[in-house]
Amino acid sequence: MLSAFFLVNANGNALITRMIRDDLRPEIIDLFRVYVIQNPAIRTPMLTLGGITFLWIRHMDLCIVSVIMSNTNPTLVFEFLFRFVSVCNASIGELNEEAVKKHFMLIYEMLDEMMDFGYPLNTDIQRLETYIVSENIHGLVPVRHNMRRVTTEYPTDVAWRQRDIKYRKNRCFVDVLEKLNLSVSSQGMIVKADVEGVIKLRPFLSGMPHCLLSLNCAVGPSEGHTALFVKVDECVYHPCVGFKTSNGDSCLSFVPPDDEFELMRYTVKRNVRLPVRIHAVVKKKCENVWQYQLSMRTCTEQQLHVTDVVIRIPTPQNAVHASCDVQIGKVKWDANEHVILWRIPRVQGMTEWMLRANVHMTSEAITPRDRLPLQVDFTVPSLTASGIAVRYLQITERSNYRALKWVRYETHSRQSYLVYI
């Protein structure tokens, strides 16, 4: 995303400089001065020099400039620049060179709150008002620290939630849903194994509740600093999420919207647990007949069950008949799709089952289509392949009501578990 951010006056002098990443040096603004400010022929608000791209907008006597080094959506960058102008107009009055020189400390603080490592994070004026320490956004009046603590503990107004929401029963449902991506080579080696997860909340909470969610993975500023938790490789949070330390734990702190929403998305690439393991062997039985042997082993705890299992085994395009036998579930050969479908509605953990099939063909010629991998779809309730779990969810509100909380775990695979044979 953004590698640098500048506010430049009409002469090309930088009034505000924020170097966000280490891939550029502050002298990069000299290129903008020479190729844009001093070149009246430039009319488009975008210029690429080598691998460096400048995007800018003009406002009054200023240029608001962003510098990017990667393949980034320019509309997102321009949207952020216009949002920055709107926030500045609401906080310091009309954004011009004189106002920037007078309130440069406030502008730097707002920039730090609006971006996280170059990614737009928070451009809502009401939410920024609770974070700014040096000056109050609306009145330019110093904020007293005791007032900030009250606002953080019992928020009274946020942009994403209305006031005076009431429910007869206060409840909160938390869903931890994970998708397993796995690729196994024909030699049985795991080529790829990762988990794409999402934590969804369905809150039915009155008033303006403040929630603290603790996970057994490092979140926020503490990511990667502990060896005791699940290692999360990538993580994206909902805009309502902040971070807070409670009882030595790094927690997600948020006021939830009054609707179902995604609290966070994450990716785990290490120590992935495989609830289902597949071993497949294909060998020639006789002329124009291949024999398929496939074993499916469930690796979950015995009290858990794997549901909605569908295994698609591709057969050669010149196959004319397949005789199949299984120990559990139902199996059939689809002549149109040229696949063997093995369906198991429900299977217990720590068990192993076999499939045997004889595929008859018109010839032994092999095409690239015949080397497609088999696909495994399944759902495992009450399990996360990454090991991520909710430690506790604390909900506080001024009226001190008691909310009921439910947590549901699920791991599934939908055309993302591939085994080459």
Query: pLDDT digits over 73-116, tens only?
Result: 888 889 989 988 988 888 888 888 888 888 888 888 888 888 87
CA angle centred on 350, ends 345 and 352, rounded to 5°: 65
Reference 231, options 266, 280, 276; nearest CA is 266
Residue 324 CB contacts under 8 Å (≥ 6 apart), including other chains:
331, 332, 333, 340, 342, 355, 356, 357
First-to-last C-alpha distance (Å) of the chain:
41
CA dist., res. 14 & res. 12, Å (int): 6
For domain 2-143, give the fold: Beta-Lactamase (3.30.450)
pLDDT level of residue 212 (50, 70, 90 thresholds): very high
Mean pLDDT highest for which of 43-57, 234-248, 296-310?
A: 296-310
Q: Each residue of 366-398: pLDDT tens digit?
A: 665 567 899 999 999 999 999 999 999 999 999
DSSP 71-110: ---HHHHHHHHHHHHHHHHHHHSS-SHHHHHHSHHHHHHH
What's the rounded Cα separation, in Å, for the pair 169 and 403?
A: 8
Secondary structure percentages of the chain, helix, strand, coil, to 5:
15, 45, 40
Question: What value does the mean pLDDT take over residues 190-214?
Answer: 94
Lowest mean pLDDT among 213-227, 245-259, 305-319, 391-405: 213-227
- Which of 340 and 21 is assigned the larger pLDDT? 340
Closest by CA to 254, choosing from 266, 236, 239, is 239
Q: Is the fold of 2-143 the same as that of 171-273+383-419?
A: no
* Spatial CB neighbours of 42, under 8 Å, sequence gap ≥ 6: 35, 36
Among the listed residues 335, 301, 306, the one whose alpha carbon sits nearest the alpha carbon of residue 320:
335
Question: Rounded to whole angstroms, how far apart are CA atoms 266 and 233?
Answer: 7
Q: Does the domain made of 171-273+383-419 have the CATH classification 2.60.40.1170?
A: yes
Q: Where are the domains of the chain?
A: 2-143, 171-273+383-419, 276-381
Decide: 335 and 314 in contact? Cβ < 8 Å: no
Question: Quick one: CA torsion of 350, 352, 353, 355, rounded to 10 degrees?
Answer: 140
Q: Closest Cα to residue 126, out of 171, 156, 159, 85?
A: 159
Domain spanning 276-381, CATH architecture: Sandwich (2.60)
Query: Kind and range of the H or E element at 28?
Result: helix 28-32
Q: How far is CA 301 from CA 178, 273, 390, 410, in A?
A: 18, 12, 19, 14
What's the pLDDT tens digit per position in 314-372? 998 889 999 999 999 999 999 999 999 999 999 999 999 999 999 998 876 666 556 78
Cα–chain center distance at 46: 29
131 pLDDT more than 80:
no
DSSP 161: B
Region 172-179 average pLDDT: 97
Phi/psi region, residue 400 (left: phi>0; alpha: psi -120 to 50; beta: rest), is: left
Hey, what are 355's tokens?
A: 């499939």
Residue of 332, 174, 163 whose CA lies nearest to 258: 163
